Amino acid sequence: MGFKSVEKKIVNEIAATLDSIAVEDVEQLVAEIEKAERVFFVGVGRVLLSLEGIAKRLAHLGVQTVVVGQITEPAITENDLLIVGSGSGESSFPLAIAKKAKSFAATVAHIGSNANSSMKEHTDLFIRIPVQTKLSLPGEIPSVQPMTSLFEQCLLLLGDSIALMMVEEKEIDMHSLWQYHANLE
């Protein structure tokens, strides 16, 4: 199979998935991000890479972001938001961190594929990226891609969509954002 054929399949999967995310859940997440003192992120593997991209982009918008485990991580408080990325909602590390964050009265949002996972009892908000899982849940978007690629791709694009929503809502001058860009390059 050639590049154009594969690329078209991936882009179509992403478009179908993003179109299936509940708008009101995304709007609620944006409201939680804007009200939080700091936004913490936790995930593992490629999900973590997508979350790190989201954290960086939100930092460019002036949001104080923290990736759980970084050496300068401050204590989480009731004024903070933890965003958990876990398709299954069963990954041990994110699950333990969500539980711990709730014990400090932080708000916890879970972005995942399975609304009825173990994560459910530790979260205040769930945003479903309805990609294919091992559970074959209703409304899942099938994928020809390996493993959970579609989830990770859509997670990053969801983060970029949230950032652009915030830019447009606050009428942020895009050129002014360069002040937040890394300059020790």
Calpha distance 23→45 (Å, rounded)? 27
Within 10 angstroms of residue 23's Cβ, the number of other Cβ atoms is: 7
Catalytic residue among 13, 73, 140, 152: 152
Calpha distance 137→134 (Å, rounded)? 8
Structure tokens at 125: 């908000």
Residue 185 is among the residues annotated as catalytic for this protein: no
* DSSP strand pairing (81-85 vs 65-67): unpaired
- C-alpha pair distances (Å), 144 with each of 7, 13, 73: 11, 9, 38
Q: What are phi and psi of 89, to 5 degrees?
A: 75, 15
Q: Scan for tokens 């954002």, then name that residue.
A: 177
Active site residues per annotation: 152
